[in-house]
Copies of this chain bind each other. A is one copy, B any other.
Amino acid sequence: MPEPLKLKSPADFIGKQGPGVISFGSGQPDLPPPKEAFEGVNLNRDLRYGLIQGELKLREALAKEYPGSTPENFVITNGASEALDLIFRIWGKGAKVLLPRPYYYSYPPILEMANMVPVYTDLIDGRIDMDDFKKKVKGCKAVLINSPSNPTGRVEEIETLKAIEKITKEQGVYVVSDEVYKDLIYERENYPIHGDHVITVNSFSKTYCMCGVRVGYLWSADKKIIDDVCEMKTHTSMNTNLIGQDMALAAMKAPKEYIDHQKLIWRERRDFIYKGLLDLGFDLWKPEGAFYVLPKCKNAREFLTVLYQDYKVITYLGEWFGAPDRIRLSYALDVKQIEEGLSRIRQALKKVCVF
Protein backbone atom coordinates (compact mmCIF):
# COMPACT_ATOMS: atom_id res chain seq x y z
CA MET A 1 0.00 0.00 0.00
CA PRO A 2 1.51 3.38 -0.98
CA GLU A 3 1.65 6.15 1.58
CA PRO A 4 -1.58 8.16 1.27
CA LEU A 5 -1.20 11.42 -0.66
CA LYS A 6 -1.04 14.50 1.54
CA LEU A 7 -3.86 16.41 -0.08
CA LYS A 8 -5.61 19.29 1.62
CA SER A 9 -7.98 20.47 -1.07
CA PRO A 10 -8.84 20.10 -4.76
CA ALA A 11 -6.26 22.80 -5.50
CA ASP A 12 -3.55 20.22 -4.76
CA PHE A 13 -4.48 18.41 -7.97
CA ILE A 14 -3.95 21.47 -10.15
CA GLY A 15 -1.24 20.84 -12.72
CA LYS A 16 -1.27 17.08 -12.08
CA GLN A 17 -3.17 16.26 -15.29
CA GLY A 18 -0.37 14.87 -17.45
CA PRO A 19 -0.72 12.59 -20.49
CA GLY A 20 -2.75 9.47 -19.85
CA VAL A 21 -4.38 10.89 -16.73
CA ILE A 22 -8.16 10.55 -16.50
CA SER A 23 -9.53 13.30 -14.32
CA PHE A 24 -12.85 12.98 -12.54
CA GLY A 25 -11.67 15.99 -10.57
CA SER A 26 -12.36 19.45 -11.90
CA GLY A 27 -15.95 20.67 -11.78
CA GLN A 28 -16.25 22.41 -15.12
CA PRO A 29 -17.71 21.61 -18.52
CA ASP A 30 -15.27 20.23 -21.09
CA LEU A 31 -17.65 21.28 -23.90
CA PRO A 32 -17.02 24.42 -25.99
CA PRO A 33 -18.84 27.73 -25.34
CA PRO A 34 -21.45 28.82 -27.90
CA LYS A 35 -19.90 30.56 -30.92
CA GLU A 36 -22.03 33.58 -30.01
CA ALA A 37 -19.84 34.21 -26.95
CA PHE A 38 -16.81 35.07 -29.05
CA GLU A 39 -18.94 37.15 -31.40
CA GLY A 40 -19.51 39.45 -28.46
CA VAL A 41 -15.89 40.57 -28.36
CA ASN A 42 -15.60 44.10 -29.72
CA LEU A 43 -12.01 44.90 -30.64
CA ASN A 44 -12.64 48.64 -30.54
CA ARG A 45 -14.21 48.67 -27.16
CA ASP A 46 -13.81 51.43 -24.58
CA LEU A 47 -11.70 49.90 -21.81
CA ARG A 48 -12.27 52.51 -19.12
CA TYR A 49 -13.95 51.56 -15.83
CA GLY A 50 -17.47 50.24 -16.14
CA LEU A 51 -20.28 50.49 -13.62
CA ILE A 52 -19.50 48.62 -10.41
CA GLN A 53 -22.97 47.07 -10.60
CA GLY A 54 -22.26 45.75 -14.10
CA GLU A 55 -23.01 46.73 -17.68
CA LEU A 56 -26.58 47.93 -18.09
CA LYS A 57 -27.21 45.87 -21.25
CA LEU A 58 -26.24 42.67 -19.52
CA ARG A 59 -28.43 43.46 -16.52
CA GLU A 60 -31.32 44.33 -18.86
CA ALA A 61 -30.97 40.95 -20.57
CA LEU A 62 -30.91 39.18 -17.20
CA ALA A 63 -33.97 41.09 -15.98
CA LYS A 64 -35.94 39.48 -18.82
CA GLU A 65 -35.05 36.05 -17.43
CA TYR A 66 -36.24 36.93 -13.91
CA PRO A 67 -39.97 37.77 -13.93
CA GLY A 68 -40.79 41.09 -12.28
CA SER A 69 -37.16 42.16 -12.15
CA THR A 70 -35.37 45.29 -13.29
CA PRO A 71 -31.66 45.81 -14.03
CA GLU A 72 -31.39 47.35 -10.56
CA ASN A 73 -31.89 43.92 -9.00
CA PHE A 74 -28.57 42.55 -10.33
CA VAL A 75 -24.88 42.92 -9.61
CA ILE A 76 -22.45 41.35 -12.09
CA THR A 77 -19.51 39.67 -10.34
CA ASN A 78 -16.29 37.78 -10.98
CA GLY A 79 -18.11 34.48 -11.15
CA ALA A 80 -20.52 33.11 -8.57
CA SER A 81 -17.58 32.85 -6.15
CA GLU A 82 -17.27 36.61 -5.81
CA ALA A 83 -21.04 37.01 -5.54
CA LEU A 84 -21.08 34.63 -2.56
CA ASP A 85 -18.04 36.24 -1.00
CA LEU A 86 -19.53 39.75 -1.26
CA ILE A 87 -22.90 38.75 0.17
CA PHE A 88 -21.48 37.17 3.29
CA ARG A 89 -18.93 39.92 3.79
CA ILE A 90 -21.63 42.59 3.99
CA TRP A 91 -23.15 40.65 6.89
CA GLY A 92 -20.29 39.07 8.84
CA LYS A 93 -20.06 39.79 12.58
CA GLY A 94 -20.53 36.33 14.00
CA ALA A 95 -23.94 35.67 12.47
CA LYS A 96 -24.97 32.06 11.87
CA VAL A 97 -25.61 30.56 8.44
CA LEU A 98 -27.37 27.24 7.96
CA LEU A 99 -25.61 24.99 5.47
CA PRO A 100 -26.75 21.59 4.19
CA ARG A 101 -23.93 19.03 4.34
CA PRO A 102 -22.32 17.70 2.07
CA TYR A 103 -21.63 21.19 0.70
CA TYR A 104 -19.59 22.86 -2.05
CA TYR A 105 -16.10 22.98 -0.61
CA SER A 106 -15.71 26.78 -0.73
CA TYR A 107 -18.78 27.50 1.39
CA PRO A 108 -17.27 26.99 4.84
CA PRO A 109 -14.11 29.04 4.09
CA ILE A 110 -16.18 31.84 2.53
CA LEU A 111 -18.36 31.97 5.64
CA GLU A 112 -15.43 31.78 8.02
CA MET A 113 -13.46 34.48 6.18
CA ALA A 114 -16.55 36.68 6.51
CA ASN A 115 -16.65 36.04 10.29
CA MET A 116 -19.86 34.06 9.96
CA VAL A 117 -20.53 30.79 11.71
CA PRO A 118 -21.67 27.80 9.64
CA VAL A 119 -24.36 25.62 11.21
CA TYR A 120 -24.79 22.26 9.47
CA THR A 121 -27.86 20.25 8.61
CA ASP A 122 -27.00 16.80 7.28
CA LEU A 123 -28.74 15.62 4.13
CA ILE A 124 -30.75 12.43 4.21
CA ASP A 125 -30.35 10.40 1.04
CA GLY A 126 -28.86 13.51 -0.57
CA ARG A 127 -31.79 15.75 0.27
CA ILE A 128 -32.53 18.41 2.85
CA ASP A 129 -34.11 17.00 6.01
CA MET A 130 -36.85 19.55 6.69
CA ASP A 131 -37.31 18.51 10.32
CA ASP A 132 -33.69 19.19 11.11
CA PHE A 133 -33.76 22.29 8.89
CA LYS A 134 -36.67 23.76 10.84
CA LYS A 135 -34.93 23.21 14.15
CA LYS A 136 -31.63 24.69 13.11
CA VAL A 137 -32.81 27.64 11.02
CA LYS A 138 -33.93 29.46 14.16
CA GLY A 139 -31.62 32.33 14.98
CA CYS A 140 -29.72 32.09 11.70
CA LYS A 141 -29.05 35.19 9.62
CA ALA A 142 -29.26 33.18 6.39
CA VAL A 143 -29.37 29.75 4.83
CA LEU A 144 -27.18 28.84 1.89
CA ILE A 145 -28.64 26.28 -0.48
CA ASN A 146 -27.36 24.83 -3.74
CA SER A 147 -29.81 22.94 -5.92
CA PRO A 148 -28.78 21.25 -8.20
CA SER A 149 -25.98 20.47 -5.82
CA ASN A 150 -22.26 20.17 -6.15
CA PRO A 151 -21.18 17.60 -4.88
CA THR A 152 -24.34 15.47 -4.52
CA GLY A 153 -25.83 15.94 -7.99
CA ARG A 154 -29.24 16.07 -6.30
CA VAL A 155 -32.05 18.50 -7.05
CA GLU A 156 -34.34 19.42 -4.17
CA GLU A 157 -38.07 18.77 -4.62
CA ILE A 158 -40.12 21.85 -5.54
CA GLU A 159 -42.14 21.16 -2.40
CA THR A 160 -38.96 21.40 -0.29
CA LEU A 161 -37.89 24.61 -1.99
CA LYS A 162 -41.31 26.14 -1.37
CA ALA A 163 -41.19 25.08 2.28
CA ILE A 164 -37.76 26.71 2.66
CA GLU A 165 -39.09 29.87 1.02
CA LYS A 166 -41.95 30.01 3.50
CA ILE A 167 -40.18 29.13 6.73
CA THR A 168 -37.32 31.52 6.13
CA LYS A 169 -39.71 34.32 5.25
CA GLU A 170 -41.68 33.74 8.43
CA GLN A 171 -38.54 33.76 10.52
CA GLY A 172 -36.88 36.72 8.82
CA VAL A 173 -33.98 34.63 7.57
CA TYR A 174 -32.29 35.33 4.23
CA VAL A 175 -31.97 32.57 1.64
CA VAL A 176 -28.84 32.61 -0.47
CA SER A 177 -29.65 30.30 -3.37
CA ASP A 178 -26.66 29.22 -5.43
CA GLU A 179 -28.24 28.17 -8.73
CA VAL A 180 -25.19 27.91 -10.97
CA TYR A 181 -26.37 24.52 -12.25
CA LYS A 182 -29.94 25.71 -12.90
CA ASP A 183 -29.70 24.87 -16.62
CA LEU A 184 -28.30 21.40 -15.98
CA ILE A 185 -31.29 19.61 -14.51
CA TYR A 186 -32.21 16.26 -16.08
CA GLU A 187 -35.59 15.72 -14.49
CA ARG A 188 -37.54 18.96 -14.63
CA GLU A 189 -37.28 22.74 -15.06
CA ASN A 190 -35.49 24.73 -12.38
CA TYR A 191 -37.63 26.15 -9.58
CA PRO A 192 -36.01 29.47 -8.61
CA ILE A 193 -36.73 30.35 -5.00
CA HIS A 194 -38.68 33.62 -4.79
CA GLY A 195 -39.04 36.42 -2.32
CA ASP A 196 -37.72 39.68 -0.97
CA HIS A 197 -35.59 37.69 1.46
CA VAL A 198 -33.94 35.65 -1.31
CA ILE A 199 -30.58 36.37 -2.90
CA THR A 200 -29.97 34.30 -5.99
CA VAL A 201 -26.43 33.60 -7.13
CA ASN A 202 -25.76 32.56 -10.67
CA SER A 203 -23.11 32.32 -13.34
CA PHE A 204 -22.44 32.03 -17.05
CA SER A 205 -19.71 29.48 -16.34
CA LYS A 206 -21.61 26.20 -16.41
CA THR A 207 -24.50 27.03 -18.74
CA TYR A 208 -22.24 28.49 -21.42
CA CYS A 209 -19.01 26.60 -20.70
CA MET A 210 -16.98 29.71 -19.97
CA CYS A 211 -15.65 29.19 -16.44
CA GLY A 212 -12.35 30.95 -17.14
CA VAL A 213 -14.05 34.18 -18.21
CA ARG A 214 -15.33 34.67 -14.67
CA VAL A 215 -18.72 36.26 -15.07
CA GLY A 216 -21.45 35.59 -12.55
CA TYR A 217 -24.10 37.65 -10.82
CA LEU A 218 -26.42 37.99 -7.90
CA TRP A 219 -30.07 38.95 -7.85
CA SER A 220 -31.87 40.59 -4.95
CA ALA A 221 -35.09 42.57 -4.54
CA ASP A 222 -33.57 44.32 -1.50
CA LYS A 223 -32.06 47.63 -2.56
CA LYS A 224 -29.92 47.85 0.56
CA ILE A 225 -28.26 44.52 -0.23
CA ILE A 226 -27.53 45.63 -3.80
CA ASP A 227 -26.12 48.94 -2.54
CA ASP A 228 -24.00 47.32 0.17
CA VAL A 229 -22.60 44.75 -2.26
CA CYS A 230 -21.74 47.49 -4.78
CA GLU A 231 -20.12 49.62 -2.07
CA MET A 232 -17.95 46.70 -1.00
CA LYS A 233 -17.09 45.75 -4.58
CA THR A 234 -16.00 49.37 -5.22
CA HIS A 235 -13.15 48.75 -2.82
CA THR A 236 -12.41 45.07 -3.40
CA SER A 237 -12.41 44.64 -7.19
CA MET A 238 -14.27 47.48 -8.99
CA ASN A 239 -16.31 46.53 -12.09
CA THR A 240 -16.28 42.96 -13.39
CA ASN A 241 -14.09 42.64 -16.47
CA LEU A 242 -15.83 44.32 -19.39
CA ILE A 243 -14.79 41.92 -22.15
CA GLY A 244 -16.20 39.02 -20.15
CA GLN A 245 -19.48 40.88 -19.64
CA ASP A 246 -19.73 41.47 -23.40
CA MET A 247 -19.14 37.77 -23.99
CA ALA A 248 -21.74 36.80 -21.41
CA LEU A 249 -24.34 39.03 -23.04
CA ALA A 250 -23.53 37.57 -26.45
CA ALA A 251 -23.66 34.01 -25.09
CA MET A 252 -27.25 34.65 -23.97
CA LYS A 253 -28.11 35.00 -27.66
CA ALA A 254 -27.18 31.36 -28.28
CA PRO A 255 -30.25 29.39 -29.41
CA LYS A 256 -32.06 27.29 -26.83
CA GLU A 257 -30.81 24.23 -28.75
CA TYR A 258 -27.33 24.95 -27.45
CA ILE A 259 -28.41 24.35 -23.87
CA ASP A 260 -30.75 21.47 -24.82
CA HIS A 261 -27.95 19.76 -26.69
CA GLN A 262 -25.60 20.11 -23.73
CA LYS A 263 -28.21 18.57 -21.48
CA LEU A 264 -28.48 15.53 -23.74
CA ILE A 265 -24.72 15.02 -23.54
CA TRP A 266 -24.70 15.40 -19.76
CA ARG A 267 -27.59 12.99 -19.38
CA GLU A 268 -25.84 10.34 -21.49
CA ARG A 269 -22.74 10.67 -19.36
CA ARG A 270 -24.79 10.62 -16.17
CA ASP A 271 -26.50 7.41 -17.21
CA PHE A 272 -23.19 5.85 -18.15
CA ILE A 273 -21.27 6.65 -14.98
CA TYR A 274 -24.21 5.98 -12.69
CA LYS A 275 -24.76 2.50 -14.10
CA GLY A 276 -21.02 1.87 -14.28
CA LEU A 277 -20.46 2.67 -10.63
CA LEU A 278 -23.52 0.67 -9.56
CA ASP A 279 -22.17 -2.29 -11.52
CA LEU A 280 -18.85 -1.96 -9.72
CA GLY A 281 -20.71 -2.24 -6.44
CA PHE A 282 -20.77 1.41 -5.34
CA ASP A 283 -23.62 2.83 -3.31
CA LEU A 284 -24.47 6.26 -4.72
CA TRP A 285 -27.26 8.75 -5.31
CA LYS A 286 -28.49 9.15 -8.86
CA PRO A 287 -27.63 12.65 -10.10
CA GLU A 288 -30.64 14.72 -11.13
CA GLY A 289 -28.63 17.79 -12.12
CA ALA A 290 -25.10 19.21 -12.33
CA PHE A 291 -22.39 16.64 -13.19
CA TYR A 292 -21.19 14.98 -10.01
CA VAL A 293 -21.53 11.65 -8.25
CA LEU A 294 -20.61 11.12 -4.63
CA PRO A 295 -20.38 7.36 -4.01
CA LYS A 296 -19.79 5.89 -0.57
CA CYS A 297 -16.20 4.79 -0.17
CA LYS A 298 -14.41 3.41 2.88
CA ASN A 299 -10.69 4.15 3.13
CA ALA A 300 -11.26 7.01 0.74
CA ARG A 301 -7.80 8.53 1.08
CA GLU A 302 -6.05 5.22 0.38
CA PHE A 303 -8.33 4.53 -2.57
CA LEU A 304 -7.77 7.99 -4.01
CA THR A 305 -4.01 7.53 -3.62
CA VAL A 306 -4.00 4.16 -5.39
CA LEU A 307 -6.26 5.51 -8.12
CA TYR A 308 -3.93 8.39 -8.76
CA GLN A 309 -0.54 6.81 -8.27
CA ASP A 310 -1.14 3.39 -9.81
CA TYR A 311 -3.90 4.14 -12.33
CA LYS A 312 -3.55 7.84 -13.15
CA VAL A 313 -7.15 8.56 -12.21
CA ILE A 314 -8.00 11.77 -10.34
CA THR A 315 -10.94 11.80 -7.92
CA TYR A 316 -11.69 14.14 -5.03
CA LEU A 317 -12.02 13.28 -1.35
CA GLY A 318 -15.54 13.54 0.00
CA GLU A 319 -14.15 15.05 3.18
CA TRP A 320 -13.44 18.29 1.28
CA PHE A 321 -17.21 18.50 0.83
CA GLY A 322 -18.14 17.45 4.35
CA ALA A 323 -18.61 13.77 3.39
CA PRO A 324 -15.60 11.85 4.77
CA ASP A 325 -16.98 8.43 3.83
CA ARG A 326 -17.37 9.27 0.15
CA ILE A 327 -15.43 10.32 -2.94
CA ARG A 328 -16.56 12.81 -5.56
CA LEU A 329 -16.33 12.23 -9.29
CA SER A 330 -17.11 14.87 -11.87
CA TYR A 331 -18.29 13.37 -15.15
CA ALA A 332 -17.29 16.36 -17.27
CA LEU A 333 -15.45 14.19 -19.76
CA ASP A 334 -16.52 12.16 -22.75
CA VAL A 335 -18.06 8.72 -22.47
CA LYS A 336 -14.95 6.97 -23.80
CA GLN A 337 -12.86 8.52 -21.05
CA ILE A 338 -15.48 7.72 -18.44
CA GLU A 339 -15.40 4.12 -19.68
CA GLU A 340 -11.62 3.95 -19.44
CA GLY A 341 -11.75 5.59 -16.01
CA LEU A 342 -14.30 3.06 -14.76
CA SER A 343 -12.15 0.23 -16.04
CA ARG A 344 -9.19 1.55 -14.06
CA ILE A 345 -11.38 1.97 -10.99
CA ARG A 346 -12.34 -1.69 -11.38
CA GLN A 347 -8.64 -2.61 -11.21
CA ALA A 348 -8.01 -0.38 -8.20
CA LEU A 349 -10.90 -1.96 -6.30
CA LYS A 350 -8.84 -5.14 -6.13
CA LYS A 351 -6.19 -3.34 -4.09
CA VAL A 352 -8.26 -1.35 -1.58
CA CYS A 353 -11.29 -2.39 0.41
CA VAL A 354 -13.85 0.40 -0.13
CA PHE A 355 -17.16 -1.33 0.56
With A41-B41, A47-B33, A52-B11 as contacts: A214 and B235 at CB distance below 8 Å? no
Find A237's partner among B15, B82, B113 (CB 8 Å cutoff): B82
Q: How far in angstroms is the closest Cβ of chain B from A248?
A: 11
Asked if A26 lies at the interface with its beta carbon under 8 angstroms from chain B, I say: yes
Find A46's partner among B15, B82, B212 (CB 8 Å cutoff): B212
Given contacts A47-B212, A85-B236, 8 further A-B contacts (CB under 8 A): A9-B234, A11-B230, A82-B236, A109-B235, A115-B115, A213-B241, A214-B240, A244-B244
Total interface residues in chain A, CB < 8 Å: 54
| A residues 201-259 in Cβ contact with B at 8 Å | 209-215, 230-232, 234-244, 247
Q: Which residue of B lies closest to A240 (CB)?
A: B214
Q: Which residue of B lies closest to A33 (CB)?
A: B47
Specify how many copies of this chain sit in the oligomer.
2
Which of A46, A51, A89, A234 is packed against the most chain B CB atoms within 10 Å? Answer: A234
Asked if A337 lies at the interface with its beta carbon under 8 angstroms from chain B, I say: no
In the complex, what distance in Å separates the CA atom of A232 from the CA atom of B11? 11
Residues of A bordering B, CB below 8 Å: 9, 11, 14-15, 26, 28-30, 33, 37-38, 41, 43-44, 46-52, 78-79, 81-82, 85, 89, 106, 109-110, 113, 115, 209-215, 230-232, 234-244, 247
In the complex, what distance in Å separates the CA atom of A106 from the CA atom of B236? 8
